[in-house]
Structure 1
């Protein structure tokens, strides 16, 4: 007998997808309220360096 697929529970229902999209939208609104918040988020994500320039990986 084969082992059950370990990611079986990752299949999302439409309600779960809607909830995830709402969370993404709320996060976007929070981090993009001001230029400073957007820069801080992008720096934490590694997209900008500490000087506010694009990180090397994104040039």
Structure 2
């Protein structure tokens, strides 16, 4: 059960980042955002990848 909660939290986190950034015009997909989160190389405009990294840092500061 705990493993499911961790997975759901991660999926929600990725969807929230994608949705928030899409409103501002970021075109990265959930798969690309997942790759950025996993510190993998992503073929994307550098400023959009940086927006994702910034959003990840911001979400990490929020209380769980």
Instruction: Mark yes or no: TM-score above 0.5.
Output: no
- Please report the TM-score for the alignment, with normalisation by the length of structure 2: 0.38
Larger Rg: 1
Q: Which has the higher contact order (CA 8 A, sep 6+)?
A: 2
**Could you say which structure has the higher helix fraction?**
2
